[in-house]
Amino acid sequence: MSIVSIAAPKSVVPADASAGMKNAWRFALYNGLSFQIVLGSPMILYAKTLQANATVLGIIAGMMPLMVIFQIPAAQYIDRVGYKRFVLAGWGTRTLFTVGMALVPLAGGVLDVTTQLVLLLALLFGFNLVRGISSCAWLPWITHLVPENSRGRYVSGDTAMANLGSFLTIVISGLCLGARPQAWQFTVIFAFSAVMGGLSLLFLNRVPDVPITGAVRQSSQPVPWLDMLRHPPFRRLLRFVLVWSVAYGGFTTFTVAFMKAGTGLGEAQILFLTSVAFLGGLSSLWLLGHRLDHVGSKPILALSLVGWLVISASWIALAGWTSQCWLLVILALQFLMGLFAALVGMANSRLAMATIPVMGRNHFFALYSVFANVSLGLAPILWGLLIDIVGRHHFRFLGIEWNHYSVFYLLVLLVFALALVLAGRLHEPKAASLESLLTDLMVESPQRLWLRLWTRE
């Protein structure tokens, strides 16, 4: 295999694209400050206070990606509305649903916990429905706006800003909730989410719109979905994304549930621990920097999936020794989970931009998003059912107690192993080898750093 030079020159980005990327990054920051409350650990913890079981938690975690299936019928309307208006309408509407969620905890004196949970699920359904519909215009918009040789830079910055916003959100939520949160405290953080969602729209509105050219505009002919699925590079990408989503879907949700049920940690402690994952995601910008555009996606995916195998094995050990609660180990695992999830997300996004052809781009991206997100949405529901079925059954083998959580982590490890195999079959001719990436990270980059420090003395 030929090795692509990692030290390739930096690309020059047009002024409009550069300004658009900066405002898209600012949008990602405030969006991270908003959605992480509604779709992340704070919502899971609130649902637990309403006595939600693992299956319901799986539904909450899976609802957002499942609603992306509506991108398929929505894609045909993008050319009539325009990229920018389409996304703004959806993101603005979903903020209204967040306001409704902020009122649910205050209804505890009137509604019982079951009714509150049903109402919360209804609002989450509306939130995720409008998000799923409007998000079909986002990737085509950004792909059109950002030049090909700068897309790695864009996804790196976008991931960093999203993780920074998410980290700040979880820390703020932990400080607000404390050890034994009351209902009004959840109202405060849900209201904070709504305000941040409103602010994110200001920066989204500053991202320049792009015209929809004839190459991507919908024709009067039926969409050839089967031919799109048969496109070899795209088909391989879909297979990998589907398996990755099954493995990753529910991992964070049930890790939060495990820490709550199996370690005796309080809500604030769990939130502070999970916030470290976003520091890991933020560090992906430092780890990769400009490398993603030069080494390609495949070596990043291979490195990340090996990391996920180690992470899964570590959680098996923790879940199998339920009397132990090693905070330093959990902190390290949370950091690595955030880092490797961010790396996979960045590599997948860049590879999709490179793989999907210009002709029919809107529908290709819709199909890609549906495959990725439907599997990501079904996975936590199925994992939740598995955890509930295993229930309190357990046995000891190889010094580990095999209970509902350790069995969950074992099965996830096996799916990650399959994803690693499929990653090696992805089509990316210009990708560097994993050995080249590791050499640069472990040998050449440290040498360059020491050389700079030495010359300053």
Q: Tell me if residue 289 falls in helix, strand or coil.
A: coil
Contacts of residue 301, Cβ cutoff 8 Å, sequence gap at least 6: 240, 343, 344, 347, 348, 423, 426
Kindly state the average pLDDT of the residues 340-362: 79
pLDDT band at 9 (very low <50, low <70, confident <90, very high): very low
Residue 4 lies in a domain: no
- As for how many domains the chain has, the answer is 1
The CA angle 127-128-132, to the nearest 5 degrees, is 125
Higher pLDDT: 295 or 86? It is 86
Q: Angle between the 298-320 and 251-262 helix axes, to the nearest 10 degrees?
A: 20
Instruction: For residue 380, tell me if it sits in a domain.
Output: yes
pLDDT in tens, 306-340: 999 999 999 898 887 755 567 888 899 999 999 99
pLDDT of amino acid 1: 33
Q: Is 29 in contact with 162 (CB distance < 8 Å)?
A: yes
Distance CA 66, CA 72 (A): 12
Give the per-residue pLDDT at 456.
Answer: 47
Measured from the Cβ of residue 148, the count of other Cβ atoms closer than 10 Å reads: 12
In angstroms, the CA 418 to CA 248 distance is 12
Asked if residue 457 is part of any domain, the answer here is no
CATH number of the domain encompassing residue 366: 1.20.1250.20
Residue 9 lies in a domain: no
Closest among 456, 43, 13 to 253, alpha carbons compared: 43
Is residue 452, in this structure, part of any structural domain at all?
no
Question: SS3 for 8?
Answer: coil
Q: Is residue 144 part of a domain?
A: yes
**Sign of the Cα pseudo-torsion (354, 360, 361, 365, in order):** negative
Give the model's confidence band at 420: pLDDT under 50 very low, under 70 low, under 90 confident, else very high: very high
Highest mean pLDDT among 68-77, 121-130, 205-214: 121-130
Residue 10 has pLDDT above 60, yes or no: no
Give the model's confidence band at 361: pLDDT under 50 very low, under 70 low, under 90 confident, else very high: low
Using DSSP, state whether 218 is helix, strand or coil.
coil
Selection from 144, 141, 145, 134 nearest residue 20 by Cα: 145
- Evaluate whether residue 122 is within a structural domain: yes
> What is the distance between the alpha carbons of residues 28 and 336, in angstroms, rounded to a whole number?
21
Provide the domain limits for residue 404.
Answer: 15-211+226-444
- Asked whether residue 451 is domain-assigned, the answer is no
- Measured from the Cβ of residue 307, the count of other Cβ atoms closer than 10 Å reads 18
C-alpha distances (whole Å) from 224 to each of 54, 295, 363 are 39, 33, 9
